[in-house]
Each structure stands twice: as C-alpha cells, then as structure tokens.
Structure 1
Amino acid sequence: MPILVPRALSAVPARVWSHGEWERIRLGYRSRTMDEKWEIFAEGNTLFMHRSWTGYGIYEVSFVEANGGFGIAESVVESDRGRYRSRSDELECVMIELMMRSLLLGEAATELRGLSEKLWGAYR
C-alpha cells in the first residue's frame, strides 16, 4: 500500500552507492519469516520500504546518478500515526541507511546500529 501522508525528510544518507551496489539494492528484500519486518523493492530509481505484516508503505527513497554511482535525492516517510509513528528526521535517515546496508547489501553496519539505538533511546 502506498504512503498515505508523506513527509519529506530534511536529512538523507549522504553515501554514494556504486553501480554494483545499486544493482544489488534494486533486487530488494523479501522477509523470510514472520519475525522479519520489511519488504523492500525498487521501481525505476525509487526504493520502497513497506512493513511486511501490514503492507503499509513507510519509506520512499528516490535515487539519482551522482559522483560515479547513485545517491539519494530525496526521501519521504509515512506520517499517518495510524500506520507509523515517525520520529526525528535524523533517526529516519539512519534507519533508511541501516536497512539498505544490512538487509540489501549484507553489511554489518555496526556504527549505524549503535547510532539507531542511541536515537531510539531518546523516545523511550
């Protein structure tokens, strides 16, 4: 299901992904068990991140060619609180990059995991 109430993020990951990484990103991610939370797929140069149980769209990330690879031009997050309780732009930016690096590219992304825990702690 598409995002109902998109909110543009003021911060997006600054990383530029290589052409090879972009091809892997475009393959997406399908949850394999009920414990996994995300379905991720690409259409054109847009990456969609949906909750696996509900099918709700949470993030849409638009890419452009940049500096010999692909960078994020803009991103939106669902702001309908009945679908998703969005947090600060900084935390949402970290979550997008963390999912891309860990789920799509298979990277450990340890520093992003630590940062996301720290930022989530502010909401508990």
Structure 2
Amino acid sequence: MNDEEKKIIISRIADYHQNESGEYQRAPVSPLNRWLTYAMLIPVVVIMVFAGIFFFAAFLALVAVAVVAVGIRFWWLRRKYEKTMQASGDVNRQSGTDQTVIIEDAQIIEESEAPHTKPKK
C-alpha cells in the first residue's frame, strides 16, 4: 500500500481533515446518518430521564425517612424533658408543705456558720 492510499483511508475515517491552506474542515455528514444518530439517541435520553426520576424519588424518600426519624427523636426528648420538669414541679410543691427541701446535684462551695439569733417573742 503506498502513501496515497493510506491518506485516502485516513481521510475517510477522520471526522476532520486538513485542506491545502492548513485549515481543518469537517467532513460532510449525510442527513440520513444524522437522523439515524438522533433516532438512536432518543431511547437513550428517555432511559436516562426515567433513571434520574427513579433515583431522585429514592433520594427524596430517604430524606423523608430521615426527617421523620429526627422529628420523632426530638419529640421523644421534649416529652422526656416535660415529664422531668413536671416531676420537679411536684417536688417543689410538696416541699412547700413539708419542711424538708431536697436539692439534688448541688455543690457546696464554702462552708460557714450563720450567726444564730434568738427569735423575738
């Protein structure tokens, strides 16, 4: 095979080829080939759109489940906190009638004795 035959084969395979002035020109594409390319791309685009919709819906479902789980957790903590506050409110009400006051989680910083005064009669 001589050099001229190789140039012809390469020219037909390549999409762009260089003319005599050094500029690249696009090889002409027949309208039939262009329409066949579009016809083959239509099913690919449709499949990609459906796959995108499916994955978006799956992601949206996961986000919804996560939001519900976090909401339930906050509701549970709030409920627990309110029960604790009601229980501490009951202790304070009972301490008003009884003379015993129970203080939990207190820390003694400094001990000192208060001066005792005799009650006036």
Q: Do the structures match in fold with TM over 0.5?
A: no
TM-score bracket, shorter-length normalisation: under 0.3
TM-score by length of 2: 0.18
> Which structure exhibits the higher relative contact order, with contacts defined as CA atoms closer than 8 Å and separated by 6 or more residues?
1
Structure with higher strand content: 1
